Structure 1
């Protein structure tokens, strides 16, 4: 066990777990936190509610007890070009503190951190590296591309379309049509912006399942990865394998090489250090 409990403290905790219907037998299992940033204001994080039950099932079969712990998950796009932009980078450090707090306060044996978007992925990784308990990350997969009048669209096309509309080069009907069709499904905005760049960082660091950063959200393969993450975190708990056992200085140097090779987001300069 990663954590050291005395009998009185363990019994005091278990009394409170019993209040929520957890049996004495289940309370004796290693508790794995599902650190979930799901909310209804962030399409990148919206899919996570679909896999909670699956991950709980896999963790239980492997001998653990998964308990969900929700934390902040902001979307940079929601507040774009508004006063809310002032809050996105500070939100990263808020997230890192939340991860650290829920992991240490609850004396978790391990955790799955669940995030997709620009500031939340690096924030969760920062918190996980501070806590240094067995951790696996699941990222939310990418959004499907949109289409309008035969052309492929992503979120960035809405800004281009607005400029054309204001300049008088595009009709209001076409502008609104692009806005309506640019983001057809949940997931990370499907271009190499900060969200997908950070999801790739998590994978390159060895925190998320192989291929997680390049899988479409809500697909059968993405659901398989959620179950894989659940299996891997219990393995890590049993082996007491911490992030510091495999993430080193050279790991971050490898991330920098990946960013340079793929044209990753320049926001990497804010997050990797």
Structure 2
């Protein structure tokens, strides 16, 4: 196991700088807290646990977290701690414009300062929706106080006319079916009610379920947390057990930096390949690693994930949903499979104080059609593929398990959209010169270009191609795509077009070659011509002036390093600071 030695207990805690003693300042802090009816002995040196809650009615995935927070409090009280619930910035995937990703770093910054500036000895990170999990992990990593994740869980299966409906995945599928004339707009509206029929996050292996899995694979959540449905009674039990556990973590001084080591990130990368996880995990894990001080790169993603088979048969790569995944045994079964195959750092430490292998070694698979045997894997090379070449010198990513095998080696004529508005203006035009052999290219949708790097990379196909029965084409952009989406979609192309990356100078009619096995993406023009185009390139828009948009545009880094702010990388710790009263 990764070396960890618990600190002696009892000892003076950080929160005692606020609450411990009889001086004026301590009486000031305690006195105001006691207007809520807290007994005096709660301030006697027991661990103060901040329950950082991303509950919001405008974050539907997390709208049930108020109830779950009460269960965390029960656990904290049972273990002798003092729980305090703290609302934190909640970046909703379904509501925020221009994109929730623009606010991930703002949320992480707000969480970091909430921890740093207030009397907490440990933190429970209550998350669910896509960006809430990485933002809270990033903020907690920057402070390095004992912290543990509890997610809200996925919603129940959806059904429409006897067919399983996966949140997100079927939105794309039904939308394309309407454009192809295979489904009426009225049927599409009728299907809406089946897409989100219970509290919880997406029931597919989208970004929310992926990041819940990443938290567990990193060792930052209790084993089994990721897949429990939001409405299952065992989700409440998990919350209560998490409340108990954080108190002991504070007593032991078990911190994120003890758990989120390079070995833990390698485990998470391999787990992502095995579950067919979202490409968004790439950008989020790079961001989290940068906060905790671990040197993680795109090369690590390719090195660790390349030979991992995708064995979880869930949408968008497979046919089942998170509910069946939980019944089959959930993520512990997948982690055990990785360990048996020699693809797991077995000694990596978890928040439970045990190694990750000790947590999973005795679990069983209860449904081998959901968690497949290796010989029946959806794909034998399921990890995220990192492509490089003159079109993406710093890398681009593709999800093989959600792609069409016939397109993984392809040469086609570029059909270029200068930005998302250009795409929307042209894609339904019957005069658009495009067929299924073409490569759709969209520019200016990266971190600076959108701004925020929206989930628009899975461009819908033109109706005249869909009517032929074609459902996939090669698509390339500097954008992201939803973890619920599918297709042969090359994303995160770096450097992005908005900063003058090669993507910016692709023209209609250029030939583009991709070879996923060779990890190659190539714009087939002479080197001298590419250099000439790049030298002549000029930015096509004015950067935003004022407010958070200006801060974001000025300081956001590229997708290849996690799209964090340059001034937020690294662990700054959580000093008590100077009391001003």
Identify whether the pair has TM-score above 0.5, normalized to the shorter chain: yes
| Mapped pair 1:143 → 2:164 | no
State the match for 1:41 in structure 2: 58
Give the aligned partner of residue 164 of structure 1: 177
1:97 aligns with 2:102: no
Alignment partners' CA distance in 2, 1:106 and 1:213: 29
Q: Which residue of 2 aligns with 1:25?
A: 41
User: What is the CA–CA distance in structure 2 between the aligned matches of 1:123 and 1:11, rounded to whole Å?
Assistant: 34
- Provide the residue aligned with 1:179 in structure 2: 192
The aligned residue for residue 129 of structure 1 is 141
- Measured after TM superposition, the shift of residue 173 of structure 1 is 2.6
Give the SS at the match of 1:51. helix
Corresponding residue SS for 1:69: strand
1:12 alignment partner in structure 2: 28
121, 124, 131: which is aligned to 1:112?
124
Moved more, 21-30 or 125-134: 21-30
Q: Is the 8 A contact 1:157 1:178 kept in 2?
A: no
Secondary structure at the residue paired with 2:129? coil
Unmatched runs of 5 consecutive residues or more in structure 2:
1-11, 287-581
2:84 corresponds to 1:67? yes
Q: Contact conserved, 1:38 with 1:46, CA < 8 A, in 2?
A: yes
Displacement of 1:49 in angstroms is 1.4
For residues 215-266 of structure 1, give each alpha carbon's deviation from its aligned partner in whole angstroms, at most 9, with x where no partner exists.
1112111111001100100111111211112221111121111112222111
Give 1:57 shift: 2.0
Report SS of the residue matched to 2:226: helix
Contact 2:13 2:47 (C-alpha < 8 Å) held by counterparts: no
Residue equivalent to 2:68: 51
Aligned partner of 2:209 in structure 1 is 196
SS of the counterpart of 1:212? coil
Do the aligned partners of 1:110 and 1:134 also contact (CA within 8 Å) in 2? yes
Matched, 1:271 2:288: no
Instruction: Give the Cα separation in 2 of the matches to 1:51 and 1:120.
Output: 16
Counterpart pick for 1:230 among 230, 234, 243: 243
Aligned match of 1:215: 228
Whether the 8 Å contact between 1:47 and 1:218 is mirrored in structure 2 is no
Q: Is the 1:114–1:140 Cα contact (8 Å) retained in structure 2?
A: yes
Q: Does 1:247 align with 2:260?
A: yes
Aligned mate of 1:257, from 270, 273, 290: 270
SS class of match (1:214): coil
Q: 1:228 to 1:120 in 2, by over 3 A?
A: same
Q: Are the counterparts in 2 of residues 32 and 65 from structure 1 also a CA contact under 8 Å?
A: yes
Task: Kindly state the Cα deviation for residue 13 of structure 1 after the two structures are TM-superposed.
Answer: 1.4
In structure 1, list runs of 5 or more residues that go unmatched.
none
Considering Cα pairs closer than 8 Å and 6+ residues apart, tell me whether 1 or 2 has the greater RCO: 1
Contact 2:104–2:135 (Cα < 8 Å) also in 1: yes
SS class of match (2:149): strand
Taking structure 1 as the reference length, the TM-score comes to 0.92
Contact map agreement 2:123 2:246 (CA 8 A) in 1:
yes
Alignment length (residue pairs):
268
Larger Rg: 2
Q: Aligned residue for 2:94?
A: 77
Question: 8 Å contact 1:38–1:48 — kept in the other structure?
Answer: yes
Give SS of 2:182's match: coil
Shift of 1:107: 2.5
